Chains A and B, each alone.
Chain A
Amino acid sequence: MFGYAGRILRVNLTDDKIRIESPDENFYRRYMGGWGFIAYYLLRELESGADPLSPVNKLIVALGPITGVPIAGSGRNAVGGKSPLTGGFGASEGGGFFGAELKKAGFDCIIIEGRAEKPVYLWIHDGEAEIRDAKHIWGMYIADSQRIIREELKDNLIRTMQIGPGGENLVRYACVINDLKHAAGRTGMGAVMGSKRLKAIAVRGHGEVKVADPDKVRKLAEAMVDWASAKPRGAGGVDWGLGTGAWMTAHVLSGNLPTRNFRDGLFPNPEAISAQTIRDTILIRMDSCYACPIRCKKVVKVDEPWKVDPEYGGPEYETLAALGSNCGIDDLKAICKANELCQKYTIDTIGAGATIAFAMECYENGILTREDTGGLDLRFGNAEAMVKLVEMIGRREGIGDLLAEGTRRAAERIGGGAERYAVHVKGQEVPMHEPRLKRALGLGYAVSPTGADHVHNIHDTSFIQKSAWEKVKALGILDQVPLEDLGPNKVRLLIYCTFTAILDNCLLMCGSVPWSYDQKLEILRAVTGWNSTMWELMKLGERVLNMARVFNIREGITADDDWLPDRFFHPQTAGPLSEVAVNPDELKNARRIYYRMMCWDEETGVPSRGKLEELGIGWVAEYLPHP
């Protein structure tokens, strides 16, 4: 078998047992990797109703066939389990070098079970694995713990996936971070890792990923290097090489930049927090992931008033908006400091920023007081308070303990109407994209199996560019629909875009690399030697989405949870969306269309047995509620 190591590592931290399994090729081809593996093992092996932070939950680190192949976008891995934020399907993807190293060490997937009696880390090297004591690094920031791991194993090229104090303290939106700065940010997998008392996974591999057609892979890799070498300008003529966060003014003028907990519009200082301003002031270099010529990762250095350590990278768009405009903050250095703290503590920057924005709105409305905040003046715009609060959340100190629970749980405990300021779907905080502007994205937030997510989703505004419509013609989408449309044609577009994004999450191909559908298919065929088609890959996306859906239904998530927070049913207070809100009837109708197109029950959203059988996963139907 090409592309894969052919081995899955199973580690039980309760009894220290380590096993290696070798599924057959059909397993690999049917579920591919990433989300596919995670959904399979969660459905097959996790008991219904399990507490996500109990030893029963599983933490699954999954690669794809592309991972570790020397080609752009192949440096990613997925991490999954039952989410402590949503109680449903949890999965997130991170970049860097860890995934490629794990494949070279001889594994496609790690399934971690149980809970260690004392803190441990997992050391994986060239086909072997061992559980090692981590008491001496528990509580450390991840740069410190990585340094010690490398020193004690005497190898400076070891790659790590770690948690910091935020994961150890079970912050529900804690993330795991590869190589100090590449976060698998969403759904709280850092808390799951912390609940297992697993500080880190350290890997070193000297193997290589065998591919079926090395010449073809090399030619494809060179094509993307050539493309990147030409340094093409981005949409609207922005310079090459800025990473995310380059269109802040455009976002403001369209109403797309979340401002003060998604309440207001017209953030007054967009370029204070833009990628261009980072480049012109505090950027020291752009970094890349494994084998990638795109180099989209910022590395910043700040010396005053805070010191920001470049080892932890720099802020992406989501972070700039979540810890910036959404908190009413235009202090770039403060955002960089908060980003660094989120990396050190391993806290999702979206979750942290959204939760702090929620607390700020509660404070401004008198639902939280200075007494509650321990003296912090939590008004929107207070950068110092925001930075302080990130650290309090990571340590679960004072009000940080409450906010570490995420907006849904915090609002329930605060009461007094706080729920209307909690901007989440299924318990996961909403990312930094505006559903009052991007209508299909809003539907995508609502129906996502992980709660609100912007990656396995559609961005309606990207279809302002003709090239986007040209691209989806390859999927059979021939009729263009307006930005504000939420009828069948737009829902169909959302569904197909979701399938392709989930496909990326199974291949573990980075969505930021501009491969065409054909090129991705060519890469897969060249790597695996399989005679795959786009039909097979779209069916894979659909299969895995259905598996995640059934998992959620089994765990008690219903169609009522496929909904947007109250905030979006009201206009912004100013700007282009000051008279625009999501229409609940339109959303409900679009949801019904979505269910119908997916062959799910129009009212309950439960997949039909026939659809599951058609997708080759009839076994999943046993987890559906009995009629």
Chain B
Amino acid sequence: MNKDVEEVILSVIDEFSDETGKIAIEDIYRILKQRYNIDRISAGKAIVRLYEKGKIAPIEYYYLRRTD
């Protein structure tokens, strides 16, 4: 389940990030809720795990990008 949420987040970043690869953290939460009905608490935990794994990094404070 954890892995599923993490994979969905990565796919959302791939699909919705701009040409520089960044996406607003808040947009990720909106898309996860609207499209996948994933609540923000579960999503927040998954985002922190993805950071720990080195798969995402913050950019300009309010945005994320993939690092892998």
Contact = CB atoms under 8 A, between A and B. Distances in A.
A247 B44 contact: no
Contacts of B26: 236-239
Interface stretch (A172-180, A267-275, A308-316): A267-275
Q: Which of B40, B48, B57, B62 counts the most A-chain CB atoms under 10 A from its CB? A: B62
Contact of B25 (A239, A250, A277): A250
A576 B45 contact: no
B44 A249 contact: yes
Contact of B40 (A235, A236, A266, A277): A277
A35 B43 CA distance: 44
A266 B52 CA distance: 8
Contacts of B40: 271, 274, 276-277, 280
A272 B39 CA distance: 10
Dominant secondary structure at the B interface: helix
B51 interface: yes
A252 B63 contact: no
A464 B60 contact: yes
B36 interface: no
Contact of A276 (B27, B29, B48, B58): B29
A253 B64 contact: yes
A400 B61 CA distance: 38
B41 A277 contact: yes
Contacts of A252: 48
Contact of B61 (A238, A268, A277, A461): A461
Contacts of B61: 235-236, 247, 250, 254, 461, 464
B44 A248 contact: yes
Interface string B5-47: 0000000000000000000111101000000000011011101
A273 B37 CA distance: 20
B63 A272 contact: no
A236 B63 contact: yes
Contact of B62 (A235, A272, A280, A574): A235
B45 A268 contact: yes
Contacts of A269: 41, 44-45, 48
A237 B57 CA distance: 18
Contact of B24 (A237, A268, A575): A237
B62 A271 contact: no
B44 A271 contact: yes
Interface residues of B, number: 22
A236 B24 contact: yes
A575 B52 CA distance: 7
Contacts of A576: 58
Given A238-B26, A250-B62, A271 B41 contact: yes
Nearest to A272: B41
Contacts of A239: 26
Nearest to A332: B41
Contacts of B47: 249, 253
Contacts of B58: 250, 253-254, 576
Contacts of A280: 40
A624 B48 CA distance: 51
Interface residues of A, number: 28
Contacts of A266: 48, 51-52
B62 A247 contact: yes
A249 B61 CA distance: 10
Interface in A305-349: none
Nearest to A483: B61
A504 to B, nearest CB: 24
Contacts of A238: 26
Contacts of B29: 271, 276
Interface in A266-300: 266-272, 274, 276-277, 280
Interface in A575-616: 575-576
B11 to A, nearest CB: 18
B43 A271 contact: yes
A461 B62 CA distance: 10
A280 B60 CA distance: 27
A272 B26 CA distance: 15
A267 B49 CA distance: 10
A269 B49 CA distance: 10
B65 to A, nearest CB: 11
Interface string A446-478: 000000000000000100100000000000000
Contacts of A464: 60-62
Contacts of B43: 271
Interface in A432-457: none
A484 B38 CA distance: 36
Contacts of B63: 236
A267 B48 CA distance: 8
Q: Which of B27, B41, B51 counts the most A-chain CB atoms under 10 A from its CB? A: B41
Contacts of A248: 44
A557 B59 CA distance: 40
B27 A237 contact: yes
Interface string A241-272: 00000011110111000000000001111111
Contacts of B27: 237
A237 B44 contact: no
A250 B45 CA distance: 12
A253 B25 CA distance: 10
Q: Which of A253, A280, A575 counts the most B-chain CB atoms under 10 A from its CB? A: A253
B47 to A, nearest CB: 6
Contacts of B62: 235-237, 247, 250, 464
Contacts of A237: 24, 26-27, 62
Q: Which of B40, B44, B49 counts the most A-chain CB atoms under 10 A from its CB? A: B44
Contacts of B60: 464
Nearest to B48: A268
B44 to A, nearest CB: 3
A247 B41 CA distance: 13
19 contacts: A236-B24, A236-B25, A236-B26, A236-B62, A237-B24, A250-B25, A253-B25, A253-B47, A253-B58, A254-B58, A268-B45, A268-B48, A269-B44, A270-B48, A271-B40, A271-B43, A271-B44, A280-B40, A464-B61
Q: Which 6 A-B pairs have the closest CB atoms?
A: A236-B62, A271-B44, A253-B58, A271-B40, A237-B24, A237-B26
Given A267-B48, A268-B49, A575-B51, 5 more contacts: A268-B45, A269-B45, A271-B29, A271-B43, A274-B40
